[in-house]
Amino acid sequence: MIVFQYNPDTMTRRLQAQTLGGGEGDRTEAFRLKGAPIENISLDIEIDATDQLEKGDGLAGSVGIYPQLSSLEMLIYPKSALVITNTALLLAGTIEVIPPVAPFTLFVWGPQRVLPVRISDFSITEEAYDPNLNPIRAKVSLGLRVLSYNDFSVTHPGYYVFLAHQVVKETMAVIGSLNAVGSAAGSISIGG
């Protein structure tokens, strides 16, 4: 689990509808959806060891924010033990080596948004260092591809995590619609 030190100020979400066809054709298919939209999220997070250094934190004093950066980076690295095993299998003449699987990653943005994601873009801008050149302040830009039930088998927990997210979203949409209807009804006046 990786907890952001500070909540990002902004988050950009891009959704692309998954529709059948793409133009000319059967008019009965114009509103058909193949599944959940493709959603991409981008955000910048800041990591800063200033408070920990001020309090005399030994870990921050010896390695800065390198552990936090490494935790994020390990989401896109295969485990070294698997790399070594695959290398040994290749040297032994194994014809097919299965590529490593990335860890199952959840992006939690409050209780209403828990999403299975895959990191698609990742950049780190290290902004300050201690005398030993350990990073003590950095900005991390993350691009996340939300994985929906379209991306998982029905036996994978990610299938159900996304489905639960969609149910929450549908509930929020109903609440928003009811609130809008109530506001509109309250603004209608009958007078003479």
Per DSSP, the three-state class of 69 is: helix
Instruction: Provide the 10 A C-beta neighbour count for residue 144.
Output: 22
Per-residue pLDDT, 120: 94
Q: Which helix H or strand E contains 73, and what residues bound it?
A: helix 66-73
Per-residue pLDDT, 33: 87
Question: What ranges do the domains of the chain cover?
Answer: 11-185
Q: Are 103 and 76 in contact (CB under 8 A)?
A: no
Instruction: Provide the 10 A C-beta neighbour count for residue 47.
Output: 21
Distances (CA, A) of 93 to 85, 89, 98, 100, 135: 13, 6, 14, 18, 42
Distances (CA, A) of 51 to 48, 113, 135, 144, 189: 8, 29, 14, 29, 56
Q: Kindly state the tokens that stand for 13.
A: 């979400």
Site of tokens 């070594």 = 84
User: Which residues fall within 8 angstroms of residue 140, CB to CB, at 6 or more apart?
Assistant: 44, 45, 46, 47, 69, 72, 122, 123, 124, 125
pLDDT digits (tens, 9 = 90+) for 24-73: 666 777 788 888 999 999 999 999 999 999 999 999 999 999 999 999 99
pLDDT digits (tens, 9 = 90+) for 94-153: 777 778 888 899 999 988 899 999 999 999 999 999 999 999 999 999 999 999 999 999
Per-residue pLDDT, 188: 56
